[in-house]
Structure 1
Amino acid sequence: MAKHTGGCRCGAIRFEADADPIYASYCHCEDCKRASGAPMAAFVGFHAADVTFDGEDAATYGKAPVSRSFCATCGAPLAYADARLPERIFFMLGAMDAPENYPPTVHAYAPEALPFLHMDDGLPRSDTMTVPRPDGDKT
């Protein structure tokens, strides 16, 4: 089983997953764009039970049920968690040590993509989220 590692920009927070990821996607929603400061975000998801952290505790912010984490020292965005999916954690692809190993497989919130951002990658495009929530909520 491969180790999947990552951390913040300054190294104050490190994390490791002991099992392979369960999900990888692009997200074009307004919240992800603002949280990442980028025209879209890319994530890789793991079962939370397979992830361990080392170093400082991450700072968090967000509007329930979503909580986003970042390094309080360097400000680097790290991950998001959704209270409706307590068994999962989704890391920013750029926080991974080898982001090239986690190619996204889908685009979430495709209608919110910026009009100048063109990715002809042939991946499926969803109008809303791509990981179903237990309550059926689409946001």
Structure 2
Amino acid sequence: MSLHTASCRCGAIRFEARAEPFYASYCHCEDCRRASGSPVAAFVGFYTRDARFIGEAPGTYGAAPVTRSFCRTCGAPLSYVDARLPDQIFMMLGAMDAPEKYPPTVHGYVSEALPFFHIADGLPQMETSTVPRPKEDGQ
């Protein structure tokens, strides 16, 4: 069984997942840029049944369906969950203890990418989300 770990800057909150991640990506959407303070965010996805936070409880914020978590002590962003995907948690790649182990495989929301920020890595580029979500209102 693999153990994947992460933490906030100050170490008050630890995270561990006891199974392989199912996902790693870049996100160029405005919401992720503002939440991370970076021109692009990167995430690693785990199933919630395999994951847990240890130590202090993270703070949360956000508008439904997305809720983001952070450390109340140091302010470091940690993760997001989407109510439409109740069995998944997406950790900030930079919070992982060994981020080099989780190379992103796709770029999401490139339609919102900053015009001066380019990553020429040959990965697929999606106009919107890279994680399928259930359609709302039968659409």
TM-score range, shorter chain: over 0.9
Structure 1 segment 42-53 matched on structure 2, within 5 A: 42-53=42-53
Aligned residues: 137
**TM-score w.r.t. structure 1 length?**
0.96
**TM-score w.r.t. structure 2 length?**
0.96
Alignment partner, residue 102 of structure 2: 102
Alignment partner, residue 36 of structure 2: 36
Q: Secondary structure at the match of 2:33?
A: helix
Structure 1 segment 2-13 matched on structure 2, within 5 A: 2-13=2-13
Q: Distance in 1 between matches of 2:132 and 2:53?
A: 26
Q: CA deviation at 1:115?
A: 1.3
- Give 5+ residue unaligned stretches, structure 1: none
Q: Secondary structure at the match of 2:63?
A: coil
Q: Distance in 1 between matches of 2:88 and 2:65?
A: 13
CA RMSD in angstroms comes to 1.0
Q: CA deviation at 1:136?
A: 5.6
Alignment partner, residue 117 of structure 1: 117
Runs of 4+ in 1 over 4 A off after TM superposition: none
Q: Secondary structure at the match of 2:68?
A: strand
Q: Deviations over 1:70-117 (max 9, x none)?
A: 000000000000000000000000000000000000000012111111
Q: Distance in 2 between matches of 1:117 and 1:33?
A: 12
Percentage of matched positions with identical amino acids: 71
Q: CA deviation at 1:125?
A: 0.4
Amino acid at match of 1:104: P
